[in-house]
Amino acid sequence: MAQLNGVIVATGAASGIGRASAEVFAEQGAVVLGVDVADDGLATLRTRNIETIHADVTSQADCVRVAERAAELGPVRGLFNCAGLERHGSVVDTPEDDWDRVQDVNLKSIYLMSKAVIPRLHSSGGGAIVNMSSIQAHATQTEVAAYAATKGGVISLTRAMALDHGPENIRVTAICPGTIETPLVRANAEYFDPEDPQRQLAEWGRMHALNRIGQAGEVARFAAFLLSDEASFVTGSWHLVDGGLLAS
């Protein structure tokens, strides 16, 4: 089990992969600051002794507030940019508002939060950032044009950040999960098969070499490894946590 120390900021912490990650990071020794706009989920995290803050990752002022709160909790050593959402449609079908929202939450948020947190990592002597990409950056499907574009962008941004901040001892990596059972994926299954979402989930499971979809904790433990000193020579890279989906 990877050991974590200092403060780790985790966005999208109220649900799914972000919530599982906040819990795993705390179990592995970090002081976690969970960031989200969903207050119910944040309240659940607080019952597990995890610090939370209501903040919108698309707001620069909120991201600055998050970085300030994190620094009050101790030396900031990590950032998991996990918040995300999905809208459906080809480029023809996607309304401009949906396109902009997906870009803002999935991609621009990484710029805003990293811009606020990197100076704190720097003053702690370095640390690590993990950005949430997706299998959709590599092998996508129909009707997710805006989402797939952001997840490809996350990989390019990850490389650029790794080069810029490597000399400051800040490592930057990206994770590309396959299909993981979360509220986001359950909503997707309802979109693609409204009559029988379970059938859709099972069909997606069969596309993975392991013949099942993944669980949030399986991504969370990998994120913890990337954030830990165990991954001290890992940067500028993206990592599949996909149960063999891309192998098929």
Rule CB under 6 A: choose which of 179, 200, 228, 235 binds ligand NAD.
179
Q: Does 57 bind ligand NAD (CB under 6 A)?
A: yes
- Inter-residue contact 138 to 88 (CB < 8 Å): no
Structure tokens belonging to residue 92: 């023809």
- Inter-residue contact 134 to 242 (CB < 8 Å): no
Interface stretch with ligand NAD, choices 22-30, 36-44, 67-75, 221-229 (CB under 6 A) = 36-44
Between 52 and 134, CB nearer to ligand NAD = 134
Q: Does 85 bind ligand NAD (CB under 6 A)?
A: yes
Q: Does 82 bind ligand NAD (CB under 6 A)?
A: yes
Q: Please state, in angstroms and rounded to a whole number, the distance separating the CA atoms of residues 160 and 236.
A: 8
Q: Does 44 bind ligand NAD (CB under 6 A)?
A: no
Q: Does 244 bind ligand NAD (CB under 6 A)?
A: no
Rule CB under 6 A: choose which of 184, 234, 240, 246 binds ligand NAD.
184
Q: Does 17 bind ligand NAD (CB under 6 A)?
A: yes
Structure tokens belonging to residue 173: 């990596």
Q: Does 127 bind ligand NAD (CB under 6 A)?
A: no
Burial 234-248 (b: 16+ CB within 10 A, else e): ebeebbbbbbebeee
Q: Please state, in angstroms and rounded to a whole number, the distance separating the CA atoms of residues 53 and 9.
A: 10
Q: Which residue has the tokens 């993206």?
A: 238
Which residue type sits at 79? Answer: L
Residues of the shown chain interacting with ligand NAD in the complex, contacts defined by CB under 6 A: 11-12, 14-18, 36-38, 41, 56-58, 82-85, 105-106, 132, 134, 177, 179-180, 182-185
